Amino acid sequence: MSKLNPTIVAPLVRGLFIDSGGLPVVVAPAAGQAVGQSSGAKAAPGLALALTETCFATDGSLDEVKVAAGLKAAFAAAGGHTQAAGFVLGGSSVTVTVRLGSETLALSVSVLSGALRSVSDHVGMANSAAGRSAVVAGKVALVTGGAQGFGAEIVRGLASSGAFVYIADLNLAGAASLAAELNAGAPCPVACALSLNVGDEASVSAMFDAVASTTGGLDLVVSNAGVLKASSVLDQDEKSFRFVTDVNYTGFFFMVKHAGQLLRRQWRTAPSWMTDIVQINSKSGLQGSNKNGAYAGSKFGSIGLVQSFALEFVQYGIKVNAICPGNFFDGPLWSDPDRGLFVQYMNSGKVPGAKTVADVKAYYEAKVPMGRGTTGADVMRAV
Ligand SMILES: NC(=O)c1ccc[n+]([C@@H]2O[C@H](COP(=O)([O-])OP(=O)(O)OC[C@H]3O[C@@H](n4cnc5c(N)ncnc54)[C@H](O)[C@@H]3O)[C@@H](O)[C@H]2O)c1
């Protein structure tokens, strides 16, 4: 393997350009068309950044702190700040060649068109909420469990607001199908499917390596994948309790650990750039849920993780927050005609006197002051 590991170098280069240009960029392998970049994008003159052999840790791997310092010095010496600001606002792409001894790594840096739009949208709008969606325009986002349900709604909302979105899911076929649908109507790729099992640390780590090598990093991680196995505590077996805990609680820990390592890497060269990790929690993370303890416990526990990780990550410019939606009655979790919660609750007698799916739905809607469930748009607004 090359000593110039792109999973270390590309995020640090991304940070350099963000820091100088003030806008998110995509840093991709120089060969081929970068994601989010139209084929006709003009290329600016290249930038060469030389590192020294002192960038290694004692075990022979690249030391990201030393590489960051080396890249910052080389960038300044090459007049990178002026070039980066000009190219970012000009909307072109630039090739950056990083050299270490006899090895080189060529990267292509480009700006998503949404980022430039957000600049013009924001002119004269300092205190206005009118350009609210510009908050994500041109940014790179990742949504776990993005193939269906709330995740798919968030993916659609981010893409239509001008973000580039990774759709990461156990159901790769579903994620790929949504990515293909979004890309079909766009002038350049706006979505990319990734295979992920949030309960498996190796899978989470490999996914963030793929992100680092494809776009040089990201700005927003929405940790949405979650599962539910409702049962009385008297009957629930250990396997189903652990399954819910592994995905909803331990899986969130894996996500934040590996997202945090990548976001901190970008922060080393872009110390003023704020990034976000948002967990889609639940109202069951704030209030107990009868015969649903495994789920509520995993969500309550995740609030503790969110608050603790937020305290630790603020020093790296990473915000960690949770959104606690109410029931999403229109999503497959509730509405699936065979396995959905409406059918399950009707058959199990959980709702006293309910004989039809409509009875179960009316029972839950009556618990909400607005008389309705949560929609994808509600959650997207919160994101
Ligand atoms: N549906 C609701 O009423 C509701 C209410 C409040 C909160 N939530 C929360 O919102 C989130 C999404 O819920 P939903 O109803 O849209 O779920 P859903 O079951 O409709 O979709 C979940 C998605 O996550 C994927 N997934 C499951 N396990 C995974 C794993 N180990 N790794 C990667 N991907 C995995 C699935 O393939 C699926 O695409 C969950 O965290 C859930 O707890 C849901």
Q: What is the per-residue pLDDT across 129-183, written as a single tens digit (0 to 9) for each?
A: 666 667 899 999 999 999 999 999 999 999 999 999 999 999 999 999 999 999 9
Pick the catalytic residue from 166, 295, 345, 364.
295
pLDDT band per the 50, 70, 90 thresholds, residue 350: confident
Of 111, 142, 157, the one marking the end of a domain is 111
Same domain, 164 and 274: yes
Q: Could you identify the atom of ligand 1 that is nearest to the CA of residue 283?
A: 6
Count of structural domains, the chain: 3
Q: Which of 44-58, 224-238, 328-342 shows the lowest per-residue confidence on average (mean pLDDT)?
A: 44-58
> Tell me: the pLDDT tens digits for 240-297?
999 999 999 999 999 999 999 999 999 999 999 999 999 999 999 999 998 899 999 9
Mean of the per-residue pLDDT values for the chain?
91
CATH of the domain at 150: 3.40.50.720
Give pLDDT, residue 2.
77
Residue 281 in any domain: the answer is yes
Domain's final residue, options 81, 111, 141: 111
CB atoms within 10 A of CB 362: 13
CA atoms within 13 A on the CB side of 57: 6
User: With contact defined as beta carbons under 8 Å apart, do 263 and 270 qualify?
Assistant: no
Q: Same domain for 316 and 237?
A: yes
- Of residues 36 and 322, which shows the higher confidence score? 322
Query: Which atom in ligand 1 lies closest to the alpha carbon of residue 147?
Result: 39
Asked if residue 188 has pLDDT above 90, the reply is no
Rounded to two decimals, what is the model's pTM? 0.94
| 340 in the same domain as 320 | no
Q: Is 299 a catalytic residue?
A: yes
Q: Is residue 344 part of a domain?
A: yes
Any domain includes 382: no
- 225: CA distance to ligand 1 center in Å? 4
> Structure tokens of 71?
């890249």
> Same domain, yes or no, for 372 and 247?
no
**Tell me, what's the pLDDT at 119?**
53
* d(CA 199, ligand 1 centre) in Å: 13
Residue indicated by tokens 């006197």: 353
Q: Does the beta carbon of 114 lie inside 6 Å of ligand 1?
A: no
Residue with tokens 């706006």: 190
Regarding the beta carbon of 197 and ligand 1, being less than 6 Å apart is answered: yes
Q: Do 242 and 172 belong to one domain? A: yes
Q: Is residue 226 part of a domain?
A: yes
Pocket test for ligand 1, best of 324, 328, 336 (most atoms within 8 A of CB): 328
Residue 347 lies in a domain: yes
Same domain, 35 and 100: yes
DSSP state of 249: I
Q: Which of the residues 139, 166, 249, 299 is marked catalytic? A: 299
Segment 44-103, tens digit of pLDDT: 568 999 999 899 999 989 999 999 999 999 999 998 888 777 776 676 788 999 999 999
- Examine the domain organization and report whether 187 and 295 are in the same domain: yes
Q: Is 247 in the pocket of ligand 1 (CB under 6 A)?
A: yes
383 part of a folded domain: no
Q: Is the CB of residue 224 below 6 angstroms from any atom belonging to ligand 1?
A: yes
pLDDT(31) > 90: no
The verdict on 241 and 320 lying in the same domain is yes
Beta carbons within 10 angstroms of residue 245's beta carbon: 18
pLDDT of residue 117: 61
Report pLDDT digits (tens) over 353-381: 999 999 999 999 999 999 999 999 999 99
Residues 157 and 16 in one domain: no
Domain range for 193: 117-122+131-326
pLDDT of residue 296: 98
Looking at the fold, whether 51 and 164 belong to one and the same domain comes out as no
Q: What is the pLDDT of residue 186?
A: 87
Q: Would residue 291 show up in a list of annotated catalytic residues for this protein?
A: no
Whether residue 77 is found in the same domain as residue 219: no
Ligand 1 pocket, 204 CB below 6 A?
no
Cα of 130 to ligand 1 centre, how many Å? 31
The pLDDT value recorded for residue 134 is 78
Out of 333, 345, 372, mutate this one to test ligand 1's pocket (max ligand atoms within 8 Å of CB): namely: 333
Cα separation, 9 vs 62, in Å, equals: 9
